[in-house]
Structure 1
Amino acid sequence: MLFRKLTNHSKVLFYVTRFINFKPNTFVAMSSEVDKAQSAYKSKSTIFDKIISKEIPADIIFENEKCMAFNDVNPQAPVHFLVIPKKQIPMLDDASEGDQSILGELLLTAKTLAKQRCPDGYRLVINNGKQGCQSVYHLHIHIIGGRQLNWPPG
C-alpha cells in the first residue's frame, strides 16, 4: 500500500515537473541534445560547412588545409572544442580507406591542441548516429577537459 502511494506520488511529481518544465540543467542539456540527435539527418550542407566557408562566425582556434578547430558554442567543461575535417564526411561510419590521412590529421590536431589547453588530461568524443547522439552530420571530434571528468561517461 505504501509502495503504491509512493509510486503514484512519484508519477504525479513527474507530470507536475514536466508540466511546469522544471528539469535539472544537466537533464535539460542532455535531453535537448538527444532531441537534436533524434531529429537530425544527413544533409548536403551543415552548420560546420558554413563555419568552414566563413558564412557564419566561430571562435576558430586552429585551421589548416585539412581541418579546423573551434570552441564549442555550448561548452560542457572549462575546455570544450571541436576538430572537424574540411571534407564533408557525414559520420565516422561514412569514412573510407581514402580518408585515412584526414582521420589521422584530425586525431593529431586534437592531441596537439588538447595537450596545450588541457595539460592534466582530456577526453575525445566522436558521436556517431542517432543513438550515439550525433546532432550535426559532419564528422567532428569533441575535446573536453579542464576539470576532473567522470567515468562512465554515458
Structure 2
Amino acid sequence: MSSPNEHLTSPDCLFCRIVAGQIPADVVASTPSAIAFRDIAPQAPLHVLVVPRDHHADVVQLAAADPGLLAEVVRLAETVASDLADGQFRTIFNTGPRAGQSVFHVHAHVLGGAQLGWSPA
C-alpha cells in the first residue's frame, strides 16, 4: 500500500531513506508524521534529529506548506528532550548551505543534557 504522501519523498534523500527504513538509524521516538533519531556526530550529550516523514527541503518550505507538521516536529523535539534529558533543550533548523544545512530534508537538531555554550561563528 502506498502512502498518501508518497509524492513527498525524494529517492536520493538520505533522510527519506531513513524514514523508509532503507538506512538504519538509532530511532528514539516516532509519530505517524515525524521520526527522531540520534545524530551520528553528536555535539552535546543529547543530539537528536527530528525529521518529518514528508520531504520538505527546509523549515521555511515546511512552514509554508504544512504549519501543522512543523508544530508536530517541535512537539516531538520537546518529547525527546523530556524523555532523554531534563526537558531543557536547544532546537536548531539550519536553512541553506552557508547556515550549515548539509541534508536538504528539513530537520530539527535537538541539543541538551548539559549547559550549552554559544559560538555561531
- What is the TM-score of this pair, normalised by structure 2? 0.84
Q: 1:119 to 1:88 in 2, by over 3 A?
A: same
Partner deviation per Cα, 1:87-126 (whole Å, 9 max, x = no partner): 0001122225440110010001101111222216211110
2: distance between equivalents of 1:120 and 1:101? 22
Partner deviation per Cα, 1:120-151 (whole Å, 9 max, x = no partner): 62111100001111000000000011111113
The runs of at least 4 aligned residues of structure 1 exceeding 6 Å deviation read: none
Structure with greater strand share of residues = 2
Q: Superposed, which structure 2 residues align to 1:1-150 within 5 Å? A: 45-119=12-86, 121-150=88-117
Could you list the runs of 5+ residues in structure 1 that have no partner in the other structure? 1-42
Partner deviation per Cα, 1:27-79 (whole Å, 9 max, x = no partner): xxxxxxxxxxxxxxxx7531101101111100011112100000011111111
Mark the structure with the bigger radius of gyration.
1
Q: 1:99 to 1:118 in 2, by over 3 A?
A: same
The corresponding residue for 1:38 is none
Give the SS at the match of 2:68. Answer: helix
Give the SS at the match of 1:95. Answer: helix
For the 8 Å contact 2:27–2:36, the answer to whether it is kept is yes
Give the root-mean-square deviation of aligned CA atoms: 1.7
The number of aligned residues is 112
For the 8 Å contact 2:78–2:87, the answer to whether it is kept is no
Give the SS at the match of 2:73. Answer: helix
Give the SS at the match of 1:131. Answer: helix
% same residue = 35
